[in-house]
């Protein structure tokens, strides 16, 4: 079993395909601690998106459905905004993600990971 599995999720209405979305199941992060190298994982996700020609939605799946993917989402949004806008409100970004994904950032290690990657 690899560290990640990539599937194609097809979204359709009335048998008419609307889009195909990559679904990445990241199996290497088995528990909330220790937090793995999310920078490397983010690079892998970007490579998957480039390989299949996606620049839009990507679905990430983790065992809890919240903590691991929530931490990844924060890192991805913050780094993307830094590269485009050259600044970002880390606290505000985390608050927005918390409002959308109940239960993420339950442990101080999640915040430390985001801080370490951003700084």
Domain count, the chain: 1
* Secondary structure of residue 4 in the 3-state scheme: strand
Q: What is the CATH number of the domain that holds 29?
A: 3.90.190.10
Tens-digit pLDDT profile for residues 33-89: 566 667 777 787 778 778 777 656 777 777 766 677 788 888 888 888 888 888 778
User: Whole-model pTM?
Assistant: 0.68
What average pLDDT does the chain have? 77
Q: Which structural domain, as residue segments, surrounds residue 77?
A: 4-118
How many other C-beta atoms lie within 10 A of the C-beta of residue 74? 26
Specify the DSSP element, H or E, that contains 8: strand 4-13
Contact 61, 24 (CB under 8 A): yes
pLDDT score at 36: 62
Query: Quick check: helix, strand or coil at residue 60?
Result: strand
């Amino acid at each position: 079993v690899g560290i990640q599995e990539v599937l194609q999720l097809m979204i359709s209405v009335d048998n008419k395909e609307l889009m195909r979305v990559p679904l990445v199941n990241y199996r290497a992060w088995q528990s909330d601690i220790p937090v793995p190298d999310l920078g490397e994982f983010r690079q892998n996700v970007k490579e998957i998106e480039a390989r299949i020609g996606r620049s839009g939605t990507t679905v990430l799946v983790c065992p809890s459905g919240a903590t691991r993917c929530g931490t990844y989402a924060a890192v991805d949004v913050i780094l993307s905004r830094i590269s485009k806008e050259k600044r970002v409100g880390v606290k505000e970004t985390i608050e927005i993600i918390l409002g959308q994904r109940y239960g993420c950032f339950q442990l101080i290690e999640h915040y430390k990971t985001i801080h370490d990657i951003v700084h």
